């Protein structure tokens, strides 16, 4: 089963990992550049010291031993190195720290304060700066345009850079490890309204369709969902209510015809000679009445659902009212009612089925519920259709 929280945890963790990696690479790059710049500044300072100390003496280049030892170019130090080469590449002077070795030759032409990495004769890493200089006190111009290469071991620099890389990696991994539980907790807290909504929705069954989900404290992201669910619950509640009303109407309307059929059946069972054509005609009339009731209830149910089609035609309303009164006159006579009708010739653009249902409901209710011996008056004009009868049991 898919989980929104699990999906978000994975996506946020991946995004956090990418962000931490990018930040780590950026910090490492900037840190390395800063360290390298500081390293090169030290190297440049050493190069300037050597440049000032290299001088011509009796057609040879010389460097004060005291100055060489003072600035770490002696054999015991082994951290700084220099070598002076002629324009042709021949070695003219080198530091005591190189002993009998030489710095690697430059490639790609003569330098102008060129910084580069190289490998020392003993295999150690180093960084160097090469500059074109003129020897001091060189009045005859024997040592002009010579190349000074100043180098420094970079083991410590490389170690510092590696340490920075591992520190950033460990910090990123630790931060990510701490962020995962924090992300889980934040998502659990943030998605709590969604879980509460699911629990409240699951608690609503057919017996509690009148329950509505609260919208007051609902987050904005869930408010449209809650409103839609409430609308759906309202429609379901109305649908179930229509079904209950329909069932109640069916039971109420069919109770009398079923009782009559039962009485006729019991009479025919006990006295077979009473099963006359007149009795069967009465059964047929009751069955027709039941069919009419069922059709009327189906019509009302479709009307409530909005699925009843409306077919408009020019309808003679008086004919339909006369037909309804004629059909109910026998029942009215049986109950001792005086059924009177005054109908003007009225034609109207309407649905004949709907009008017939209206007339049958109004006149039928009056005939069924009016007190025995009273009068039921039916009036039809171009302005109104009215059915009136006495109803002593109703309070105004």
Domains and CATH numbers, the chain: 27-161 (3.30.450), 310-396 (3.30.565.10)
Query: What is the structure's pLDDT at 301?
Result: 65
Give residue 50's pLDDT band: very low, low, confident or very high (50, 70, 90). Answer: confident
Residue 151 β-bridge partners: 81, 128
Does residue 303 surpass a pLDDT of 70? no
Burial level of 222, CB count in 10 A (0-12/13-18/19+)?
middle
| Number of C-beta neighbours around residue 68 at 10 A | 21
Does residue 155 surpass a pLDDT of 80? yes
Query: What is the structure's pLDDT at 385?
Result: 85
| Model confidence pLDDT, tens digit, residues 3-12 | 787 888 888 8
Query: What is the structure's pLDDT at 300?
Result: 65
C-alpha to C-alpha distance for 148 and 241, rounded to whole angstroms:
101
Per-residue CA distances from 165 to 17, 29, 35, 252 (Å): 16, 9, 13, 87
C-alpha to C-alpha distance for 142 and 148, rounded to whole angstroms:
15
Per-residue CA distances from 141 to 89, 111, 146, 237, 301 (Å): 17, 20, 11, 109, 119
Does residue 159 surpass a pLDDT of 90? yes
Task: Tell me the mean pLDDT in the region 175-189.
Answer: 88
Closest CA to 212 of 191, 197, 190, 193: 197
Task: Give the dihedral of Cα atoms 369, 370, 373, 379; nearest 10 deg.
Answer: -130
Mean pLDDT of the chain: 81
| Number of C-beta neighbours around residue 102 at 10 A | 13
**Is the Cβ–Cβ distance between 360 and 385 less than 8 Å?**
no
Does residue 378 surpass a pLDDT of 70? yes
Q: Are strands 375-380 and 338-343 parallel, antiparallel or unpaired?
A: parallel
Q: Which of 51-55, 281-285, 390-394 has maximum average pLDDT? A: 51-55
Q: What angle do CA 18, 20, 26 make, to 5 degrees?
A: 100
Give residue 359's pLDDT band: very low, low, confident or very high (50, 70, 90). Answer: confident
Residue bearing the bigger pLDDT, 145 or 20: 20
Give residue 52's pLDDT band: very low, low, confident or very high (50, 70, 90). Answer: confident
| Model confidence pLDDT, tens digit, residues 251-295 | 666 666 677 667 767 766 777 766 667 766 666 666 766 676 676
| Model confidence pLDDT, tens digit, residues 193-202 | 878 778 888 8
| Model confidence pLDDT, tens digit, residues 89-111 | 888 888 888 888 888 877 665 56
**Is the Cβ–Cβ distance between 119 and 60 less than 8 Å?**
no
**Is the Cβ–Cβ distance between 351 and 312 less than 8 Å?**
yes
Stated pTM of the model:
0.55
Task: Give the dihedral of Cα atoms 73, 76, 77, 80; nearest 10 deg.
Answer: 30
Query: What is the structure's pLDDT at 125?
Result: 93
Closest CA to 351 of 387, 388, 302: 302
In this prediction, what percent of the chain has a pLDDT beyond 90? 17
3-state DSSP assignment of residue 338: strand
Closest CA to 187 of 365, 12, 367, 391: 12
- Print burial letters for 114-153: b (CB count within 10 Å at least 16), e (below 16): bebebebeeeeebbbbbbebebeebeeeebeebbbbbbbb
Ordered alpha helix ranges (H), 271-351: 277-305, 317-334
Task: Tell me the mean pLDDT in the region 323-351.
Answer: 83
| Model confidence pLDDT, tens digit, residues 12-47 | 889 999 999 999 999 999 999 999 999 999 999 998
Give residue 170's pLDDT band: very low, low, confident or very high (50, 70, 90). Answer: very high
For 252, list phi and psi in degrees, rounded to 5.
-70, -45
Give residue 169's pLDDT band: very low, low, confident or very high (50, 70, 90). Answer: very high
For 104-151, the DSSP string reads: PPP-SS--SSEEEEEE-TTS-EEEEEEEEEE-BT-TT-TTEEEEEEEE
Query: What is the structure's pLDDT at 35?
Result: 93
């Amino acid at each position: 089963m898919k989980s929104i929280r699990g999906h978000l945890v994975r996506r946020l963790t991946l995004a956090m990992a990418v962000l931490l990696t990018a930040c780590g690479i950026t910090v490492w790059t900037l840190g390395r550049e800063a360290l390298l710049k500081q390293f090169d500044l030290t190297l440049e300072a050493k190069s300037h010291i050597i440049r000032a100390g290299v001088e011509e003496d009796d057609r040879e280049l010389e460097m004060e031993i005291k100055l060489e030892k003072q600035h770490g170019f002696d054999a015991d130090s082994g951290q700084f190195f220099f070598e002076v080469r002629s324009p042709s590449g021949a070695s003219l002077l080198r530091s005591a720290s190189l002993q009998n070795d030489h710095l690697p030759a430059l490639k790609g032409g003569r330098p102008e304060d060129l910084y580069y990495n190289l490998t020392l004769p003993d295999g150690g890493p180093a960084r160097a700066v090469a500059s074109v200089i003129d020897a001091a006190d060189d009045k005859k111009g024997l040592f002009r345009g010579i190349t000074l290469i100043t180098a420094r071991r970079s083991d410590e620099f490389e170690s510092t850079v590696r340490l920075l890389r591992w520190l950033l990696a460990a910090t990123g991994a630790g931060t990510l490890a701490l962020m995962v539980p924090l992300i889980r907790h934040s998502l659990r807290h943030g998605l709590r309204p969604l879980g509460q909504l699911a629990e409240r929705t699951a608690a609503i069954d057919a017996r509690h369709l009148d329950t509505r989900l609260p919208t007051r404290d609902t987050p904005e992201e869930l408010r449209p969902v809650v409103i839609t669910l409430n609308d759906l619950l309202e429609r379901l509640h109305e649908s179930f209510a229509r079904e209950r009303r329909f069932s109640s109407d069916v039971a109420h309307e069919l109770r009398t015809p079923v009782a009559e059929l039962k009485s006729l059946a019991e009479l025919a069972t006990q006295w077979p000679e009473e099963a006359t054509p007149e009795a069967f005609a009465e059964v047929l009339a009751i069955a027709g009445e039941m069919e009419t009731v069922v059709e009327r209830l189906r019509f009302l149910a479709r009307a409530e659902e909005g699925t009843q089609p409306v077919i408009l035609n020019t309808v003679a309303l008086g004919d339909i009212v006369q037909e309804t009164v004629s059909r109910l006159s026998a029942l009215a006579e049986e109950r001792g009612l005086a059924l009177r009708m005054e109908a003007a010739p009225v034609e109207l653009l309407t649905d004949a089925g709907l009008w017939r249902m209206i007339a049958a409901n109004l006149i039928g209710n009056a005939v069924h519920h009016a007190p025995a011996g009273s009068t039921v008056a039916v009036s039809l004009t171009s302005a109104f259709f009215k059915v009136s009868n006495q109803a002593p049991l109703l309070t105004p």
